[in-house]
Amino acid sequence: MADAAVIFDVDGVLLELTRAEEDAFFVPFERRFGLKGISRDWNSYAIRNDENIIAEILARHGLPEHEHANVVADYLDVLSRQLADGTLETIAIPGALELLQKLEGKLRTGIATANLLAAAELRLNHAGLWGHVSDLAHGADGGGHKREILARAIASAGLPGDRIVYIGDNLNDVEAGLSNGVHFIGFSTDSSRLAALKRAGARHTSNNHLDSFHLIGHLLHL
């Protein structure tokens, strides 16, 4: 078994998050409860995690907790149908597939995402990336902040922190990487976001996945 691993955030690192994909998440709330105008600002929620966001929206509107499972099922159905009929298109970050292919056989690759894992699988599979990260895939299931999701992925990998690289594009990703004691690479094609990641403590940053590959090799001594 490989003695090192790279764990990726999904949105902004492997996949673009499109407006249509965001809208799909909120469809069940409108269809089931007539709720419109729900905030699309993921940072406006107490915990930026699909499971916790669903629970928070239900609580805000006085809706019963048991509706959580129905909302999840509806969302996955909407996502699956729209991907199948072409209403939705998943867009891979340029170079993501090539990066995963280069890493194949050298180390383990996986994900730590605040998306529901089943939703991440649908989207990544549609973009042809799921098979590369399915071995070590962890999502919103079980709740918690990104640092907790990453901690579950690290525990599953069974590797020391200095043999793991985590790549993310958000401030909570920086905090997750630093708090879990792994190597962290801040990724974004947006220079202002890269600057924000650096200010938050990201020592290594990349704006393209060729640089990501070289940084991974450097950090893990491949």
Q: In which band, very low, low, confident or very high, does the pLDDT at 60 lie, cut at 50, 70 and 90?
A: very high
Q: Which superfamily does CATH assign the domain made up of 5-17+91-220 to?
A: HAD superfamily/HAD-like (3.40.50.1000)
Amino acid at 87: T
Helix, strand or coil, per DSSP, at residue 158: coil
Q: Where are the domains of the chain?
A: 5-17+91-220, 19-85
What is the crossing angle of helices 50-60 and 67-85, to 10°? Answer: 120
pLDDT digits (tens, 9 = 90+) for 134-162: 999 999 999 999 999 999 999 999 999 99
Kindly report the average pLDDT of the chain as a whole number.
96
> Would you mind telling me the total number of residues written for the chain in this entry?
222
Residue 131 to residue 135: CA distance in whole angstroms: 8
Instruction: Determine the Cα–Cα distance for residues 42 and 199; give it in Å rounded to an integer.
Output: 21
**Structure confidence at residue 222 (pLDDT):** 84
User: Where does the pLDDT of residue 2 fall: very low under 50, low under 70, confident under 90, or very high at 90 and above?
Assistant: confident
